[in-house]
Amino acid sequence: MRILLCGGAGYIGCHTYTVLVERGHQVVIADNFANSSPQVLARLEQVTGKPVPFHPLDMRDRPGVDAFFARQTFDAVVHFAALKAVGESCERPLDYFENNISGTIYLLQAMRAAGVPRLVFSSSATVYGEPESVPVREDAPLRVTNPYGRTKLVMEELIGDVCRADPHFRAANLRYFNPVGAHASGLLGEDPSDTPSNLMPYICQVAVGRREKLRIFGGDYPTPDGTGVRDYIHVMDLARAHADALDYLVNEDRNLTVNLGTGRGISVMELVHAFAKASSREVPYEIVDRRPGDAAEVYADPALAQRLLGWRAELDVDAMCRDAWRWQSMNPYGYAAGRVEEDRVEEAVSLV
Ligand code: NAD
Ligand code: UDP
């Protein structure tokens, strides 16, 4: 298939790119680098051994999105492009609605006009808010607790309405739990532009010496060791699920909404210890107050993804920590240390 990855230069998008190329697809990346680095393109070329077709595109630029789709044909789009910081979404809700929701509307309109028949959408476990019970199944109540989550829920609903209006349009909503880890090469990984708000990148930056200590938000949750429990999933397992979802849309010709997690809850403390073991580094920490809005325990029931896609997570928490550490120790300051090769970006643009 010829597949467009909107937001494909980001953390999950670039790992997914490697899997899709490995499976023989022709893949194009579109991104505005709002939260990623052009250096990713050079890294992807290194990993895949092939030039990386890239198109600079801001999903908020409706004429630009239309013009791009008018010139290109795709069998499917994977839509990663979104702003994703929960705290920031509370401070700047309108920017989040514009970027995530308007961007998705323009994308869907351009896809419809160009006759692109399939969409895989990056949704999130955040649509479940604080779940009533765990493991969380796809039919659990949806109740979001912040503007970022609201954009994900609205986008799922928009996509559902488009599917109902056009019985030939196919879409997959993939509800990611907590993606962590990195490509085994150490060349690709998570590179937050600001102070990390997520746990794993924060731990990585403490271990590599960029930050003094981790603050563990809450030690008095009703969990086995008192710290919050989440379902961490290796980004390469997640990447593989996108390829499987695309196959499902083609072969089964049905729409899909599935959880992508391991089904295993890991506490903050367990992750800290697993990371210290995998990296042979100390991870100094202190336990502080709970972070407002955090649930005690969230982990997936991934049975539906296994039944429909034949997909299940294969990499365990030790592999997640080992690969995250390889990436961080090989790239202590992320992609920034690499040279931004403008001519490489231009070359990538010429390949689309
Ligand atoms: P990321 O920020 O690394 O990647 C998103 C990419 O989209 C970036 O390269 C960014 O530059 C691009 N982008 C954003 N707005 C854009 C726009 N208007 N036009 C063009 N490109 C734009 O994030 P990620 O972790 O790779 O997440 C990918 C998707 O998965 C997002 O939709 C996110 O909400 C969702 N998700 C992420 C997590 C997580 O913990 N990482 C969990 C659940 C869901
Ligand atoms: N967490 C923490 N310190 C941090 C960041 C996160 O203790 O610096 C905890 C947080 O309270 C939660 C878990 O780690 O229990 C995962 O948080 P993250 O923000 O990575 O994911 P989310 O809360 O969105 O599931």
- Is the CB of residue 18 below 6 angstroms from any atom belonging to ligand 1? no
Q: Is 291 in the pocket of ligand 2 (CB under 6 A)?
A: yes
CA of 199 to the centre of ligand 2 (A): 5
Distance CA 275, CA 333 (A): 19
Give residue 337's pLDDT: 66
Say what the pLDDT of residue 119 is: 98
Q: How far is residue 151's CA from residue 109's CA, in Å, rounded to a whole number?
A: 18
CA of 306 from ligand 1 middle (Å) equals 25
Q: Which residues contact 25 (CB under 8 A, 6 or more apart)?
A: 1, 2, 3, 243, 246
To test ligand 1's pocket by mutation, which of 5, 11, 33, 173 has the most ligand atoms within 8 angstroms of CB? 11
In degrees, rounded to 5, the angle at the alpha carbon of residue 29 between the alpha carbons of residues 181 and 122 is: 55
CA atoms of 215 and 284, how far apart (whole Å): 9
| pLDDT score for 345 | 62
148 annotated active-site = yes
The domain total for the chain is 1
Distance, CA 170 to ligand 1 centroid (Å)? 22
Catalytic residue of the set 148, 202, 248, 285: 148
CA distance 164 to 199: 38
pTM (2 decimals)?
A: 0.96
From 161, 160, 58, select the one nearest 103 (Cα to Cα).
58
Q: Which ligand is nearest to the CA of 199?
A: 2
Going from the Cα of 61 to the center of ligand 2, the distance in angstroms, rounded, reads 33
What is the distance of C-alpha 104 from the center of its chain? Answer: 16
Identify which of 122, 146, 327 to mutate to test ligand 1's pocket (most ligand atoms within 8 A of the CB).
122
DSSP code of 8? Answer: T
In this structure, what CATH number is given to the domain that contains residue 312? 3.40.50.720
Give the amino acid at 173. N
> pLDDT truncated to tens, each residue of the chain (352 aa)?
999 999 999 999 999 999 999 999 999 999 999 999 999 999 999 999 999 999 999 999 999 999 999 999 999 999 999 999 999 999 999 999 999 999 999 999 999 999 999 999 999 999 999 999 999 999 999 999 999 999 999 999 999 999 999 999 999 999 999 999 999 999 999 999 889 999 999 999 999 999 999 999 999 999 999 999 999 999 999 999 999 999 999 999 999 999 999 999 999 999 999 999 999 999 999 999 999 889 999 999 999 999 999 999 999 999 999 999 999 999 999 998 654 455 666 666 666 7
Amino acid sitting at position 82: A
Structural domain harbouring 233? 2-351
Per-residue model confidence (pLDDT) at position 340: 45
Output the pLDDT for position 338.
52
pLDDT of residue 348: 65
Q: Is 104 close to ligand 1, i.e. is its CB under 6 Å away?
A: no
Residue 149, ligand 1, Cβ within 6 A: no
What sign does the CA torsion over 11, 14, 15, 20 have?
A: positive
